[in-house]
Structure 1
Amino acid sequence: MNASSFEPAAYTAQLESKKNRLIELLTPFGAPAPEVFDSPLSHFRLRAEFRLWREDGQRHYAMFEPGDKHTPILIEDFPIASPLINELMPRLKAFWQVCDQISNRLFQVEFLTTLSGDALITLAYHRPLDDAWETAAECLAAELNVSIIGRSRGKRIVVGRDFAEEALTVAGRVYRYRQPEGAFTQPNGTVNEKMLSWAYDALGQRNDDLLELYCGNGNFTLPLSTRVRQVLATEISKSSVNAALANLANNAIDNVTLVRLSAEELTQALNEVRPFRRLAGIDLKRYDFGTVFVDPPRAGMDSDTCELTRRFERILYISCNPETLAQNIAQLNDTHRITRCALFDQFPWTHHMESGVLLERR
């Protein structure tokens, strides 16, 4: 990406194009004009992953065009990444250039940073890691003031913590999050705060309960829990469930029950198709759900889960794929109408976009 790509005029034109695409997809459903939440033009991405490429006797950060694993693009700095990633990149490179224990058979580096200034670096190797590597990694972690995770076949060594700590502000309250290595987190922290604030406002203050599907590490769960009596949240990933439980405890939130179920399994439980031991002790009938909140993967909701959401008066839907969002809305359009929608530019300088809709029963 060349410097001219970061001109404000180019960004404004691209954001307008995304807005028009979202309008096109949602117009058949009578959607109102989308609220648009822009991104910083640079230094917005909190995660980055690089392969290493050897050239002139040195290892360099490298990326590749999709489908091409043989023509590296060597990276010295990465203007879309956070200031902290750009600060750490040359310092890590200088360390591996003089430390064989760190550089030997190192083939991939992943950075995870946060708006609050924390950082976790994962180093992946084509060799077994031993005590000598761990000693060198401890020196590296101390020099860079980060946590380090080393990965090789069948082994994972943690120096420091295996998560980064984040702090996000919604409606004047600061929420603190653990973001585990390898688990999904929103890549654009600034836009994530805007997205959380929009969902918080769209939900409104309620006197009933919230069902949340695909809750991840509790990114939305924490602020939304303050708007309702109680929340039943589901997530299938063990690492995300553990992080969400820690985040609920660290933020003193006690009105959320979290169960490790997929959206499809919860649909079966609510339909009384089959019992689940993981729901033992949870009486689903005691909830008075007024709203369901969903943030599904790119494939959107499966047909059965989409039918499940139809039961609720209000559906608050965050989507990373507007095409599958439109498909799901088409299934729900006979019973629900869009009353609010939004575009969140999580991925500037790409065609990808995040969107949100509030659907209410007709």
Structure 2
Amino acid sequence: MSAPQFDPASYDAQLEEKKQRLISLLAPFNAPAPDVFDSPREHYRLRAEFRLWREGNERFYAMFAAGDKRTPILIEDFPIASQRINDLMPRVKAAWQANEALNFKLFQAEFLTTLAGDALITLCYHRPLDEHWQNAAQQLANELGVSLIGRSRGQRLVIGRDHVIEELEVNGRSFSYRQPEGAFTQPNGRVNQKMLNWAFDALGERQDDLLELYCGNGNFTLPLATRVRKVLATEISKSSVNAALANLADNQVDNVTLVRLSAEELTEALNEVRPFRRLAGIDLKSYDFGTVFVDPPRAGMDPDTCELTRRFERILYISCNPQTLADNIEQLSDTHRIERCAVFDQFPYTHHMESGVLLVRK
């Protein structure tokens, strides 16, 4: 993990720079002024991972400057991480220092927390984990009130749960999310909640159906499903699909059909290029899609998926890369215009930014 440039005094200026960058990228498309959603200045990141660096008989949490893997920056606390992570870090360090079963050949520690206060710690080793490790890890998990996972080559030992539970409020309703270890989750919980509320408002109350591509663990699916008649959602990651199905059941959201297909595969299915067994029993023609919601990876939508979205009246697009967002909008600009846009500062003190647009047919 690379060391961030933590400087709260510069926060307002860096957020303004991100706003202006999005305005500049969307200027060719006559975009309205963006809504701007800021982040807490510290303790905003809900997950963190650290390599461990040994000096003498002691191991330290460590990070490295970009491009330098040999000069560790030793970490005692981590102000961008949640308060829960900062509270756990010294206690976990004291535990491995005091117990050889926890300490021997330990090389990485990962923390996953939630706004709701849940926590999961993963300890990674260059050795097989035995009964001595399990006993020590069970005692540590009990003392800290956390779940704990031990990983080594070919091993994954779970003490407690292999996921955390998050609670996020959208338009006055609380949604519960299982967030599995190792699966993607939004790192900035406060800003994620703002993104969900913005998308919920931008979608509006609809009498038709929603197609969602790249649905992940159902982060957006749960609240958006309450705004439409029914949802067809796709995701390729098996762990994310399993988490999304559990989240739909936990929240009693029953108008969503989830299929494990990539966006490219669904494009082929909707274009009737070829059938998919995973769509057996799903009548695609029964859907009256009015809006497509996309939250693609940094590469954005591929050209064919972008063309697929063109057929929809409304495109609700959350992006983690404003350049590929602008590239996709360029492809769609002859048929759609930007009605709303927003900046979400998921990643303070970095150049990364999250943005959103609502495109409607001209």
- Give the TM-score, by structure 2 length: 0.98
Shift of 1:66: 1.9
* Counterpart secondary structure, 1:139: helix
* Counterpart secondary structure, 2:315: strand
Q: Deviations over 1:281-302 (max 9, x none)?
A: 0000000000000000000000
Shift of 1:56: 2.9
CA contact 2:6–2:349 (8 Å) conserved in 1: no
Q: Which residue of 1 aligns with 2:211?
A: 211
Q: Which residue of 1 aligns with 2:249?
A: 249
- Tell me which of 6, 9, 29 is aligned to 2:8: 6
Q: Which residue of 2 aligns with 1:314?
A: 314
Q: Which amino acid aligns with 2:237?
A: S
Q: Which amino acid aligns with 1:286?
A: S
Q: Deviations over 1:170-190 (max 9, x none)?
A: 000000000000000000000
> 2:91 and 2:270 mapped to 1: Cα distance?
52
Q: How does 1:265-304 map to 2 (within 5 A)?
A: 265-304=265-304
Q: Which residue of 2 aligns with 1:102?
A: 102
Q: How does 1:41-120 map to 2 (within 5 A)?
A: 41-120=41-120
* Counterpart secondary structure, 2:7: helix
> 2:202 and 2:180 mapped to 1: Cα distance?
28
CA RMSD of aligned residues (A): 1.0
Q: Which amino acid aligns with 2:37?
A: F
> 1:214 and 1:160 mapped to 2: Cα distance?
29
Change (3 A) 1:303 1:83: same
Q: Which residue of 1 aligns with 2:261?
A: 261
Change (3 A) 1:53 1:67: same
Q: Which residue of 2 aligns with 1:37?
A: 37
Shift of 1:67: 1.9
Change (3 A) 1:95 1:213: same
Among all aligned residue pairs of Structure 1 and Structure 2, give the percentage whose two residues are the same amino acid: 76
**Which contiguous aligned blocks of 4+ residues in structure 1 show a shift greater than 6 angstroms?**
1-4
> 2:235 and 2:294 mapped to 1: Cα distance?
11
Number of corresponding residues: 360
Q: How does 1:217-236 map to 2 (within 5 A)?
A: 217-236=217-236
Shift of 1:216: 0.2
Q: Structure 1 residue 143 and structure 2 residue 143: aligned?
A: yes
Q: Which residue of 2 aligns with 1:153?
A: 153
Q: Which residue of 2 aligns with 1:327?
A: 327
CA contact 2:5–2:349 (8 Å) conserved in 1: no
> 2:106 and 2:226 mapped to 1: Cα distance?
45
Q: Which residue of 2 aligns with 1:352?
A: 352
CA contact 2:4–2:349 (8 Å) conserved in 1: no
Q: Which amino acid aligns with 1:5?
A: D
Q: Which residue of 2 aligns with 1:179?
A: 179
> 2:159 and 2:36 mapped to 1: Cα distance?
41
* Counterpart secondary structure, 1:36: strand
Q: Which residue of 2 aligns with 1:125?
A: 125
Shift of 1:4: 8.0
> 2:311 and 2:150 mapped to 1: Cα distance?
46
Q: Deviations over 1:303-325 (max 9, x none)?
A: 00000000000000000000000
Change (3 A) 1:4 1:147: closer
> 2:17 and 2:264 mapped to 1: Cα distance?
34
Unpaired runs of 5+ in structure 2? none
* Counterpart secondary structure, 1:95: helix
Q: Which residue of 1 aligns with 2:15?
A: 15
Shift of 1:5: 1.4
> 1:295 and 1:22 mapped to 2: Cα distance?
17
> 2:211 and 2:197 mapped to 1: Cα distance?
18
Shift of 1:2: 9.7
> 1:11 and 1:153 mapped to 2: Cα distance?
41
> 1:309 and 1:355 mapped to 2: Cα distance?
18
